[in-house]
Amino acid sequence: MKLAVVLWLMLFGALYTNAQLKVLSATDSTTIKQLFFAGLRDKLNDDYSRENISFSKIVALDPNNDAAYYELALLKYRLDRIPDAEIDIKRAISLNKTNPWYLKLLAELYKRNGNMKALVPVFDQLIVLLPEEQSYYFDRSNALLIAGKKQEALQGYQLIEQKFGSSPALDQARGRINEDSNSSPAVNQQTDNTEPLALATAYIGKKDFANAAKILTGIADARQEDPLFLALYGDVLFETGDLPAALTAYKKALRLTDQLYGVWEKVLNIQILLGQYKEMIVMGDAALAIYPNQAILNYYMAFALHREVQNNTALTYIRTALQLDGENKALQALIFALQAEILIDEHKLAAAEVSFNKALELDPGNYLIMNNYAYYLALRNEQMNRAESLIATAAKALPEDASVADTYAFVLFKRAKYEDAKVWIERALKNNAVDNSVYLEHYGDILFFLGEQQQAMIQWQKSLDAGNGSPLLKRKINEKKYIK
């Protein structure tokens, strides 16, 4: 649990100093003081949306407020938005180079993305600020070793001995320099879990998730009580495509602490991908009990409830989600798009169209919303010019997306452009991992109108065999013709 304690200290250790000293002496603006304390209150209440709004307003009013940039960076770190956090903490450091908390957070970010080259100068600065903190000397030398600078790392270890004396940890660190550089990660894990973790982090920074997963798997048994390790392990497993294992790691982390907000989101996202909607409702309910003011959690709940045909309840979560995080237009667009799909199921078509239009107004570059809207218009055989324009834009941006290709084929079919429709439905089937029964039915429909009735029958039968139980499909097969 050591890492958990360190993270807690990082999250809250600078709270008093920043609030009481830096902000209050930076400006006599009552507005900024009120916003800062409001942001701190929201931070303690885990209301991330409101916290982000408060500190963002501060830096808009006072671009030189380093404490507010630090709080924004810390917030984004907790939400696993590492690149955004790095931008904000660098801004804070540029304004105040003597605050060690800022440098500590930057060091954590570099560790997460494996940027050992950038990490070394950060520890240089921390050593200048806190010359008696031995751990910074070790961290600096370890970063040099991971970066392949063995001679510089050795010099760093010699400096530690000169300043702090000999120790088993120092002997062990020096011993790593003499290890065969071609030895497998497992060899380097025999004595210590800390350095394999650093090595795995370096692999993650290089997007080499396969090797990172091997290293983390080798030390996982010894880290089952460390929620931060389990969260990182889950991230790597997710990147390797092992969604069930990633889900297991994330759930273990949450059993140890419910304060890793980003992990809650990741669990819900994986459950969507695995189609675990019932389990997702249970998990979403647990997440909302802790973080009731997060719009995206309400969105996830609405999504799962919709898939379980609990549309009335889903709409209550939609309404709540729309009242939260109003400044996140991309998320609001997703919420309106989901609302539109639910309203379609409820046969409230006019209201559904209003929601789709609002979604595209908020996020005009969201191609998946375009895809869904175009499909909806084609189903109703309305505004077909707009439907084709929308899906053509989406298909240009996402030419290998099977769902987009199928929608393009469907819209073209509705417009009697059968040859073009055939091109896109074949692309959809080519890019789909498994035979999609709906795509196969669409393929049969297109072939029928191209005069290839025998081939159309084959595709319809494939669609039935793939699980399409549509009564209309069965009529097509029995009557050997297309039925509208």
- pLDDT average per 10 residues of sequence, the chain (484 residues): 38 41 48 83 76 87 90 85 89 93 89 78 92 86 79 88 84 67 40 62 79 90 87 92 94 89 92 92 94 91 95 95 83 94 89 93 92 90 92 94 95 96 95 82 96 95 90 93 90
Does 308 lie in the same domain as 241?
no
Q: Which residue has the tokens 């970066």?
A: 147
Tell me how far apart the alpha carbons of residues 283 and 267 are, in angstroms, rounded to a whole number. Answer: 8
Among 297, 319, 352, identify where a domain stops.
352
What's the token pair of residue 472?
């209309």
210 residue type, one letter: A
With respect to residue 235, please indicate whether it lies within any of the assigned structural domains.
yes
Q: Which domain holds residue 237?
A: 187-257
With respect to residue 407, please indicate whether it lies within any of the assigned structural domains.
no
Please give the C-alpha separations between residue 364 and each of 31, 358, 375, 395, in angstroms, as whole numbers: 34, 10, 17, 15
Query: Which of 443, 396, 399, 401 lies closest to 422, judged by CA?
Result: 443
What's the token pair of residue 100?
């060690």
Write down the pLDDT at residue 248.
Answer: 96
DSSP string, 139-175: HHHHHHHHTT-HHHHHHHHHHHHHHH---HHHHHHHH
With respect to residue 438, please indicate whether it lies within any of the assigned structural domains.
yes
Write down the pLDDT at residue 190.
Answer: 38
With respect to residue 223, please indicate whether it lies within any of the assigned structural domains.
yes
163 residue type, one letter: K
The DSSP letter of residue 202 is H
Helix (H) or strand (E) holding 240: none
CATH code for the domain in which residue 327 is found: 1.25.40
Write down the pLDDT at residue 29.
Answer: 66
- Distance from CA of residue 407 to its chain's centroid? 26
Write down the pLDDT at residue 89.
Answer: 94
Among 257, 284, 310, identify where a domain stops.
257
Q: Which residue has the tokens 């996020």?
A: 363
* Helix orientation angle between 402-414 and 437-449, rounded to the nearest 10 degrees: 30
Q: Write the CB contacts of 2 (distance below 8 Å, at least 6 apart in sequence).
A: 226
Q: How many domains, the chain? A: 3
With respect to residue 300, please indicate whether it lies within any of the assigned structural domains.
yes
Does 293 lie in the same domain as 330?
yes
Tell me how far apart the alpha carbons of residues 7 and 226 are, in angstroms, rounded to a whole number. Answer: 12
With respect to residue 279, please indicate whether it lies within any of the assigned structural domains.
yes
Handedness of CA 89, 92, 98, 99 (dihedral sign): negative
Does 343 lie in the same domain as 311?
yes
Tell me how far apart the alpha carbons of residues 59 and 36 are, in angstroms, rounded to a whole number. Answer: 10
Does 253 lie in the same domain as 285?
no
The DSSP letter of residue 183 is S
With respect to residue 163, please indicate whether it lies within any of the assigned structural domains.
no
Among 325, 352, 379, identify where a domain stops.
352
Contacts by 409-417, CB closer than 8 A, 24 or more apart: 409/442, 409/446, 410/375, 410/378, 410/442, 411/374, 411/375, 411/377, 411/378, 411/384, 411/387, 412/388, 413/442, 413/445, 413/446, 413/449, 414/378, 414/381, 414/384, 414/387, 415/384, 415/388, 416/449
Does 226 lie in the same domain as 193?
yes
3-state secondary structure 35-88: HHHHHHHHHHCCCHHHHHHHHHHHHHHCCCCHHHHHHHHHHHHHCCCHHHHHHH
Helix%, strand%, coil% for the chain, nearest 5: 80, 0, 20
Q: Write the CB contacts of 421 (distance below 8 Å, at least 6 apart in sequence).
A: 408, 409, 410, 412, 413, 446
91 residue type, one letter: R
Tell me how far apart the alpha carbons of residues 177 and 83 are, in angstroms, rounded to a whole number. Answer: 32
Tell me how far apart the alpha carbons of residues 476 and 484 are, in angstroms, rounded to a whole number. Answer: 9
With respect to residue 56, please indicate whether it lies within any of the assigned structural domains.
no
Query: Which of 254, 226, 249 lies closest to 238, judged by CA?
Result: 249
Tell me how far apart the alpha carbons of residues 353 and 355 are, in angstroms, rounded to a whole number. Answer: 5
270 residue type, one letter: I
